[in-house]
Amino acid sequence: MKKNICPLLALLVAIITGCKPAVKEAQKDPIIEQKEIKLTSDIMTPEVLWSFGRLSEAEVAPDKQSILYGVTFYDIDQNKGNRELYTVSADGKKTNRITTTKFSEYQATWSPDGKKIFFMSPESGTMQVWKMNPDGTSREQVTRIENGINGYKVSPDGRQLLYIADVYPEKKLKDLYEGLPKASGKIITDLMYRHWDTWVEAYSHVFVAGLDGVVEKGTDLMPEEPWETPLAPFGGMEQITWSPDSKVIAYTCRKKQGKEYALSTNSDIYLYDLESRKTTNISEGMMGYDIAPVFSPDGKKIAWQSMERDGYESDKIRLMVMDFTTKEKTDYTKDFDQNAEALAWSEDGKGIWFISDWHATDEIYKLDLTDNKITRITQGIHNYTSVVPMGDQLITTRVSMSMPAEIYRVNPSNGSDIQLTTTNKNILDQLTYGKVTQRWIKTTDNKQMHTWVIYPPHFDSTKKYPALLYCEGGPQSTVSQFWSFRWNFQMMAANGYIIVAPNRRGLPGFGQAWNEQISGDYGGQNMQDYLSAIDAVSKEPYVDKDKLGCVGASYGGFSVYWLAGNHQKRFKAFIAHDGMFNLESQYLETEEMWFVNWDLGGPFWDKNNKTAQKSFSNSPHRFVQNWDTPILCIHGELDYRIVATQGMQAFNAAILRGVPAELLYFPDENHWVLKPQNGILWQRAFRNWLDKWLK
């Protein structure tokens, strides 16, 4: 449950899966675009939060003179968003908006010669590829694929297009459906019949076609293969790529299905030779996740992100490189006790840039292949989320708890950066944010734990404030300098609360041992870490220790439910979103069985498995008899990772116990809240509940 979906991916998935209604509605509504906003207060509100533009996908032009990117703006009345494309000069002095349409544009990329921009946009109810001039003129349709596509990449020589599209297998047991065209029943014969928020009725394949006209049908690189690429639900086009000579396509795939798929994380990197039509597995025998291949500029090597162990989705992310001449595979992060993500080759092919989390910030690093040395490039209170070389500079997107994504240019010689885009300057200039600080707190086993403390705007140390303990999800996702449009620390602080956000046991960025401790220890040391954090901060004279709240989602929701029965009267209010309440039912309700097998230790019926029995004995529902504190439970019906009945069980238990409780239920949301009006309702309910019991 470690994944945090990006807003762009979430919106793209929503449009692809429901494109026809979106098209019809868009024909009636005005274009959604950035609005001039004049605030009457310098304190952020949910409506202001949803007014920020959401920037993503910075693409450097071949001539390195400009950067292409997209921004999504939301309209609360229309209850949806719209994404437009922009370019900014390499020096940041000139920004151009190049699209103005009612339909969003996605995955915009430059043609190899820089003369065109390719992008995805809906046409007649399906997502297709288009191209246009760099100034947005001369828009032309490139594909007309039946049922649409989900992603694409143009070959380096500009002559071919690879795209991914859904393949629908024949309905199983089709004889039972004969003469029943309106029958809605699903006959299920194996596991993984639904995944995160989707019933699995198709799988995505890679297709390739020439770019000598409008593409209506490509060649399936995986004919008759009943598996997917990229990996659902979070994999994107970073998992599929061209070789520099346009002769080979590398793709990520877990060639398993049903029960086998549900039990394993063992994906591999496959190379498809366009001339011979042969497929080669270059990571065979490597048992964990192998994803996101990138060829060196000369095509003689390939790098990818690799995990060692099958079934462990939060294993260390290694930087693996294969030399095609020697066939040798090398783990260059063997002695590097951190993850390596978002790989990008240097332009001379002698190094690899990557992003790594260390002590709660995501920074840029470089592997020098001449001496195998890894060097940290940047340092600060922020997260870099991508890195693209541009001559002797790097182009990256950067966020923090106090700023949504913008594009920056980084000087790798000294780690300094320059902001190139100012998408949300108008709003940010009108807001006052709370101070973000970090401190190290001693745990019950004498370790030092990093903790963020965020103060309300206009904080006055002579006053007393209620405080919130924030419980992170994942469980193995760092409380870093992320910017969220739901769990937004500045939004929580703007409500008048001090936020305590500890990097408790079971999070990356503090070494592998710290990260792995949580597996098999739900309800154990990490819960004591939470209590150590709130106990330490509540000793400050400006914290009202009689008005403490506790909030969290996913594993953070589990944490809230567990603490509700084990907090020894510390807290006066709880909020749990999409949390695990009953681990026994969770084990049989979830879909990715590798997760519960690894983290809980196995099934609850294995009475000889000490790890599993310890995990299930710490299920929050076993401590309901101790519940005595008001609790708000939130859940979405489309959440198949932690199903909605988990939240309903918790709410029902609280009511039956006579504990004040509310249930905020979303019939049309999944593990997240993606619709604007639902997002604002969430924020209002969140604040109202806390204010009711803590103020």
pLDDT tens by residue, 628-663: 999 999 999 999 999 999 999 999 999 999 999 999
The per-residue pLDDT for 170 is: 82
Residue 8 — pLDDT band, cuts 50, 70, 90? Answer: very low
Q: Is the peptide bond prior to 502 cis by the omega test (within 30 degrees of 0)?
A: no
Tell me whether residue 366 is in a domain.
no
pLDDT tens, position by position, 309-324: 999 999 999 999 999 9
**Helices 593-600 and 610-617, packing angle to 10 deg:** 100
Q: Could you give the maximum distance between any two Cα atoms of the chain, in Å?
A: 76
- Number of domains comprising the chain: 1
| Rounded Cα–Cα distance for residues 221 and 662 (Å) | 51
| pLDDT at 589 > cutoff 70 | yes
The pTM assigned to this predicted structure is 0.95
Q: Which SS3 state, helix, strand or coil, does residue 13 take?
A: helix
In a domain, 647, yes or no: yes
Three state DSSP letters for 398-416: EEECCEEEEEEEECCCCCC
- The single-letter code of the amino acid at 485 is F
Taking residues 439-464, report their average pLDDT. 98
Kindly tell me if the per-residue pLDDT of 26 is higher than 80: no
Query: For residues 4 and 346, what is the distance between their CA atoms, to the nearest angstrom?
Result: 28
Quick one: pLDDT at residue 27? 58
- Identify the pLDDT of residue 324: 98
| Interval 491-516 mean pLDDT | 98
Distance between first and last Cα of the chain = 33
User: Could you tell me which residues are beta bridge partners of residue 463?
Assistant: none
244 DSSP assignment? T
> Is position 562 within any domain?
yes
Instruction: Look at residue 28 in the predicted model and tell me its pLDDT.
Output: 73
| 3-class DSSP string for 437-506 | EEEEEECCCCCEEEEEEECCCCCCCCCCEEEEEEECCCCCCCCCCCCCCCCCHHHHHHCCCEEEEECCCC
In the block, residue with structure tokens 């154990």: 524
* Mean pLDDT, rounded, for 329-347: 98
Q: In this model, does residue 13 exceed pLDDT 80?
A: no
Q: What's the rounded Cα separation, in Å, for the pair 383 and 482?
A: 6
Domain with residue 595: its CATH number is: 3.40.50.1820
Residue 585 lies in a domain: yes
**Which of 169-183, 332-346, 557-571 shows the lowest per-residue confidence on average (mean pLDDT)?**
169-183
Would residue 483 count as lying in a domain?
yes
> What pLDDT score does 7 carry?
39
The pLDDT of residue 138 is 97
pLDDT of residue 12 exceeding 90: no
Q: How confident is the model at residue 171 (pLDDT cuts 50, 70, 90)?
A: confident
| Per-residue model confidence (pLDDT) at position 2 | 56
Residues 53-82 have pLDDT tens digits of 999 999 999 999 999 999 999 999 999 999
Over range 683-688, report the average pLDDT.
Answer: 98
Name the percent of the chain lying above pLDDT 70: 96
- 347-371 burial by CB neighbour count: b if 16+ within 10 A, else e? eebebbbbbbbbebbbbbbbbebee
DSSP state of 201: -
Give the CA distances from residue 584 to residues 151, 293, 606, 615, 636, in Å, rounded to whole numbers and listed in that order: 38, 38, 12, 10, 20
Question: How far is Cα 246 from Cα 112, in angstroms, rounded to an integer?
Answer: 12
pLDDT at 272: 98
Catalytic positions, written as ranges? 554, 639, 671
pLDDT value at position 167? 96
515: Cβ contacts below 8 Å, ≥ 6 apart: 314, 316, 476, 506, 507, 508, 509
312 in any annotated domain? no
- Is 505 among the domain residues? yes
pLDDT grade, residue 29 (50/70/90)?
confident
Q: What is the mean pLDDT of residues 258-279?
A: 98
Residue 541: give the domain boundaries.
432-694
Mean pLDDT score of the chain: 95
Question: Strands 383-384 and 573-577: what pairing?
Answer: unpaired
pLDDT of the residue at 18: 41
* pLDDT for 5 beyond 70: no
Q: Residue 655 domain-assigned?
A: yes
Helix (H) or strand (E) holding 541: none
Q: Are 631 and 574 in contact (CB under 8 A)?
A: yes
The answer to whether residue 11 scores a pLDDT higher than 80 is no
CB atoms closer than 10 angstroms to residue 653: 22
Report the amino acid identity of residue 93: K
Confidence of residue 519 (pLDDT cuts 50, 70, 90): very high
How confident is the model at residue 172, as a pLDDT?
76
Q: Are strands 140-141 and 151-154 parallel, antiparallel or unpaired?
A: unpaired
% of the chain with per-residue pLDDT over 90: 94
Rounded average pLDDT over 2-26: 44
**Contact partners, residue 241, CB within 8 Å, separation at least 6:** 153, 249, 250, 251, 293, 294, 295
